[in-house]
């Protein structure tokens, strides 16, 4: 998909007298009903906005790079806010907020930017990671932070599935009902499984996926389906047929939210420029 087809709105200049502050946020998603502010549940953005009001004595809207579902974690969500306050330097917001925020939300950094940056509309790539541990290796510190399985399926077969996901595809098969996006096509730059060792010396099975954007519960559906299919030794050719079928009923189970992390947001226009050149040459 050409970047010109992303159909993002034009950026608007900042209103006179406003400053734009960019922040990187990590949070324990199990304690919240997602990033996006809601009328009937506690969200990460809501808590940050309430804390900002204490500091600035003004209503502030925090704009994130995208939503995360209830229970999903973030290592590096990116957001911005437009404020009239001129007393606090951009880089000081991280320290000021962390003094008041609950410990399960941390501002990793903050800085002043301008109207050419928009946390959502200037995003070039989003990276998610998913983590599994064997049930016998789970510790008391893994609860709600790592998904568990009895055994890991074939890493080779998982990576054959993952390789099939790279490129531009219609991901209708792996999109949950309720998604309102007019197009189900997404560009996937990276997709791979690997074994890692956690801080306790236990094996982690991790999945990494990076793309221009993702559909509703798409990553969790892909992860859960690949794990289920690999356990059943489903041939990679059949996985490709399922992806191409655009038939939601042919997907596997949806992985739980607790193992999923919004890992990184890229705003570098050159980082994945090779993908567009390869796909559209």
Domain boundaries, the chain: 11-113, 125-279
Q: Cα 2 from chain centroid?
A: 21
User: What are the angstrom distances between the C-alpha of 75 and each of 10, 14, 27, 40?
Assistant: 28, 28, 7, 25
pLDDT of 1 reads 66
Q: Which of 110, 68, 88, 104 is nearest to 259 (CA)?
A: 68
| Catalytic residue check, 69 | yes
- Angstrom distance (rounded) from CA 275 to CA 272: 6
pLDDT for 38 equals 83
pLDDT at 40: 84
Which range (24-33, 42-51, 163-172, 177-186) has the least confidence? 177-186
- pLDDT bin (cut points 50, 70, 90) of residue 182 is confident
Q: How far apart are CA 259 and CA 208, in angstroms?
A: 12
Detail the residues annotated as belonging to a binding site for substrate: 128
242 contacts 250 by C-beta, under 8 angstroms: yes
Query: What is the average per-residue pLDDT within 245-270?
Result: 97
Is residue 243 a contact partner of residue 96, using CB atoms and an 8 Å limit?
A: no
Describe the chain by its helix, strand, coil percentages, rounded to 5: 30, 30, 45
pLDDT of residue 143: 94
We find that the CATH architecture of domain 11-113 is 2-Layer Sandwich (3.30)
The highest-level CATH class for domain 125-279 is alpha beta
* pLDDT at residue number 52: 97
* CA 11 distance to own-chain centroid: 23
The answer to whether the CB of 127 falls within 8 A of the CB of 255 is no
Length of the chain: 281
Q: Terminal CA-to-CA distance of the chain, rounded, Å? A: 12
Write down the pTM of the prediction.
0.95
Average pLDDT over residues 247-251: 96
Residue 123 has pLDDT above 70, yes or no: yes
Say which range, 7-16, 60-69, 211-220, has the weakest mean pLDDT.
7-16
Q: What is the pLDDT of residues 75-99, one digit of tens each?
A: 999 999 999 999 999 999 999 999 9
Same CATH topology for 11-113 and 125-279: the answer is yes
- Please report the pLDDT score of residue 93 as a whole number: 98
Contact 63, 17 (CB under 8 A): no
Q: How confident is the model at residue 35 (pLDDT cuts 50, 70, 90)?
A: very high
Q: Which position among 15, 69, 179, 233 bears the catalytic label?
A: 69
Q: Quick count: other Cβ atoms within 10 Å of Cβ 274?
A: 10
| The pLDDT value given to residue 4 | 67
Annotated binding site: 128
Among candidate residues 110, 142, 145, the one with its CA nearest the CA of residue 25 = 110
**CA gap 151, 133 in Å, rounded:** 8
Q: How distant is the alpha carbon of residue 109 from its chain centre?
A: 18
- Average pLDDT in the chain: 94
% pLDDT > 90, the chain: 88
């Amino acid at each position: 998909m050409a970047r010109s087809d992303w159909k993002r709105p034009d950026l608007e200049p900042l209103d006179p007298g406003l400053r734009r502050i960019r922040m990187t946020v990590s949070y324990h998603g199990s304690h919240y009903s997602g990033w996006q502010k809601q009328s009937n549940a506690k969200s990460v953005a809501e808590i940050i906005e309430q804390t900002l009001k204490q500091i600035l004595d003004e209503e502030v809207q925090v704009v994130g790079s995208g939503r995360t579902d209830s229970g999903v974690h973030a290592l590096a969500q990116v957001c911005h806010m437009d404020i009239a306050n001129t007393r606090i330097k951009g880089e000081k917001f991280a320290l000021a907020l962390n003094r008041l925020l609950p410990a399960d939300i941390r501002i990793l950094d903050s800085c002043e930017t301008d109207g050419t940056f928009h946390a959502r509309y200037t995003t070039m790539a989003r990276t998610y990671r998913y983590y599994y541990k064997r049930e016998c290796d789970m510790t008391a510190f893994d609860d709600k932070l790592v998904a568990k399985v009895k055994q890991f399926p074939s890493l080779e077969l998982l990576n054959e599935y993952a390789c099939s996901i790279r490129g531009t595809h219609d991901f209708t098969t792996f999109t949950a009902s309720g998604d309102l996006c007019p197009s189900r096509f997404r560009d996937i730059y990276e997709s791979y499984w690997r074994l890692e060792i956690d801080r306790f010396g236990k094996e982690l099975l991790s999945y990494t996926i990076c793309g221009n954007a993702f559909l509703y519960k798409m990553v969790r559906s892909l992860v859960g389906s690949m794990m289920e299919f690999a356990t059943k030794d489903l041939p990679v050719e059949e996985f490709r047929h399922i992806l191409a079928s655009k038939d939601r009923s042919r997907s596997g189970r949806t992985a739980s939210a607790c193992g999923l992390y919004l890992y990184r947001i890229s705003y570098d226009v050159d980082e994945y420029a090779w993908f567009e050149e390869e796909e559209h040459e």
